[in-house]
Structure 1
Amino acid sequence: MSSEESTVLGFPEYPKFQRNQPRFPQETFLGRYLHYLDVVDPRTLLTSDSRLKECVELLKAYDAGEKNLASDRELWEAQKIKGAILHPDTGEKVLPPFRMSGYVPFGWITVTGMLLPNPSNASQPQPISKFVGAYLAAVTSACSIAGGLTYMIKKAGSLPPATRLIIQRFVPLPATSLASHTGIEVYDREGTVIGVSKVAVKQAVTDTALTRAFLPVPLLALPPCIMPFFEKFRWVQKSATRHLLVNAIVCTISFGISLPIALALFPQESTISVNQLEPEFREKTRATELYYNKGL
């Protein structure tokens, strides 16, 4: 069976190519999960400028009507590389640490991204002052929550030591979840921008906030459950370095698991009923639904 006829979890691995469309159906969680595995694929970080240019030129040729220049697989791969490196709205190259594919490899830099929006992947550019203000507010609130919970747990003399230890391990979970508006362009099925909506951006922010709130759940819930198993081994107990190394590996794997799952909760290109938007939109279009890019 050829690669273009093979399947992945019941979906064709390389279906008939569709420009600017995900390779897998977005109506189901599983389809979105497979799509985001492509989006966060760290191998795209190694793409050279010449390879990126080749992919962009191939897609331009396809758009110009040259449909038989490459196979479906080559076209999907070209679109994957372009989508992983270039911003979908601006077309500008996103720096590697701030790409979704760099989220896990550069996690030691971007771990605070769980507490605030990633400006490189936002659907609209934000002023630096707002970014810094949001960062300081998020870090302050997260540290306050974590510090307060830790203090209260230590002072809770009625709790058995084992119970206090378990609760302390999970302190980061509520801290980051709790820490976690101009308008946004809405467009029709053909991609024609109808206007800018504050209602749509509220929905986009809500979906993104839920994604960000869920993102640390596997990351911060799995290591406390897994580490006690490894801590039973002497070779881990006898060396703080080995303990740190095992902990880092477990956290990295947990992060890699949580990222595509969190992103798959909602489609990146979301739909909204015209009746839910501001009244002026009903005068601008006959469409019953419009679309917007909520960002990642």
Structure 2
Amino acid sequence: MEYPPFKLGSSRFDQSQFSGRFRHLLDLTDPRPLFTSQKKLDASIALLENFKRNSLPPGVTDKELWQAQKIKQSILHPDTGQKILMPFRMSGYVPFGTPIVVGMLLPNLTFPQMIFWQWLNQSHNACFNYSNRNATKPTPTSRFVAGYLGAVTSAISIAVGLSYLIKKSSSFSPATKLMIQRFVPYPAVASANICNVLLMRNNELTEGIDVCDENGNVVGTSKIAARQAVLSTAGTRVILPAPLLIIPPIVMSLLEKTRFLQRNPRFHLPFNALACTLSFGLALPACIALFPQYASIPTKDLEPEIQAVTSEKTLIFNKGL
């Protein structure tokens, strides 16, 4: 069913299947809620409050309830209830992030230009992570600063270092150098993502994360589950930028060989922007949907004190995105 019976706080798509997770993430990254008026937002919040109190007006449909929840979740932080700035919402990630990806993939970037785009990309990521953080527990600002500085430093160092080595190499022709140079943003961003995850979530490795039974009841706090969550998330962050930073360069290298683009070089930037937008809009949710956010782990692999308080064979934990 396109709009199943409404359940507050749940997804209307089956999260046990890739197709359901993909459609859920497409729904989250839909940019249309960016233009929601304050009046529409207030009406959506009021409708959800009426649902909670079992006082819905006659004629309200499940479709209206699902759309009201989508509007609220795309604009307000779930913990603080405050508005998230437009560039740092899930619904704003593609429209505000695409120009940055286009900038990183421009041909023949100078070192200052490369530093600027890598800095801007990591700054956008840092603000996005902070704006969508878990605010149920206080997190020192120093941890976000450390993650930001680590990500910026690693991204710029690798991008500039690889570019310098490529330009100084005598083993490649100018055309080959240009081709290889297109793919430099990927290792820079991937390494920065790993650095960011390890620095930002270091407290989970030292303090552990909650593990729950199938009903969502917290059984205990596990450092073993935390290590698996952080490492798997770091692995996911390596996969995420691959389609965004590899597919457009391949597409553009093929288009540049066509007679049309050779005769009309002014269309290079619009075509590059279109390739980045399509990759961003489809590949990003597809990559995130590969792995469920909530992972399971055999109880026998966890700490003895957790094994002692439950008879469940497997427990569940929030891996993170």
Separation in 2, partners of 1:121, 1:295? 12
Q: 1:64 to 1:235 in 2, by over 3 A?
A: farther
**What runs of 5+ residues in structure 2 fail to find an aligned partner?**
101-119, 194-201
Structure 2 residue 109 is matched with structure 1 residue 120: no
Cα distance per residue 1:162-204 (max 9 Å; x no partner): 3222211111111211222224444455555555443343333
The one of 54, 58, 61 equivalent to 2:47 is 58
Q: Give the 3-state SS of the residue equivalent to 1:74 in structure 2.
A: helix
Q: CA RMSD in A?
A: 3.0
Structure 2 residue 136 is matched with structure 1 residue 111: no
Separation in 2, partners of 1:213, 1:195? 30
Q: Give the 3-state SS of the residue equivalent to 1:106 in structure 2.
A: helix
Structure 2 residue 199 is matched with structure 1 residue 182: no
The one of 40, 43, 67 equivalent to 1:77 is 67
Cα distance per residue 1:230-286 (max 9 Å; x no partner): 44425642x4xx533433333233222222112212233444444444444345555
Q: Give the 3-state SS of the residue equivalent to 2:15 in structure 1.
A: coil
How many residues are paired up?
282
- Aligned pairs (5 A) from 1:244-283: 244-283=269-308
Which residue number corresponds to residue 44 of structure 1?
A: 33
- Aligned pairs (5 A) from 1:1-296: 12-66=1-55, 70-107=60-97, 108=99, 111-112=121-122, 118-123=129-134, 126-180=139-193, 181-183=202-204, 184-231=209-256, 232=258, 233-234=261-262, 236-237=264-265, 239=266, 242-283=267-308, 287-296=312-321
**What runs of 5+ residues in structure 1 fail to find an aligned partner?**
1-11
Cα distance per residue 1:79-130 (max 9 Å; x no partner): 2222222334454432222211111122157732686681222346542222
Separation in 2, partners of 1:279, 1:94? 41
Q: 1:90 to 1:255 in 2, by over 3 A?
A: same
**Structure 2 letter corresponding to 1:133:** A
The structure carrying a bigger helix percent of its residues is: 2
Cα distance per residue 1:37-62 (max 9 Å; x no partner): 11111111122233223222222322
- Which TM-score applies when normalising by structure 2? 0.75
Q: 1:114 to 1:27 in 2, by over 3 A?
A: farther
**Structure 1 letter corresponding to 2:15:** Q
Separation in 2, partners of 1:19, 1:228? 47
- Which TM-score applies when normalising by structure 1? 0.80
Separation in 1, partners of 2:306, 2:83? 32
Overall identity of the aligned pairs, in %: 50
